[in-house]
Amino acid sequence: NQKGPVKGKIFKVTTAITWAASLPTIEDVKNSDRRYTQRILEPLEKILDDEHGLIEKWEWCKAVGEKLTEEERANIGSYDVIKDLYVKVITLKKEEELLDGAYAAAGRIMEAKEKKAKQRATRVSKAKAALPKPDKDE
């Protein structure tokens, strides 16, 4: 039901870990050497900063896009911070080109749903019309 461009591109670090597939989970690192920075944050930063990737600018944040406090930034490699850490994508490379393709795809999906709803309404109307009329004598 998105009506316009996505303005808040925020996702949880745990979600990014599942997308990357090669990174250990936060719980795996917690149960082993607790090197969150080396095993999760640095590899994730490398992915987010990739010159061939889609992301132009990003930052670490809290759930609703709030900036991290100085203390949180200083302790970003700790379990207490990383378990609630999010990535906020500020800008994408060639965002307009990406959005044009996304709008076209969304338009096709919307047209298909509208067509399906119209077909259903037509079928319901035909079925109701085909029902026998009640007897006036009854």
Question: 87 with 60: CB under 8 angstroms?
Answer: yes
pLDDT at 136: 75
pLDDT(125) > 80: yes
| Residue type at 92 in one-letter notation | L
pLDDT(2) > 60: no
pLDDT of 76-86, one tens digit each?
Answer: 999 999 999 99
pTM of the model: 0.62
β-pair partners for 92: 55
Cα–Cα distance between 133 and 9 in angstroms, integer?
56
pLDDT of 73-109, one tens digit each?
Answer: 999 999 999 999 999 998 888 766 766 777 788 888 8
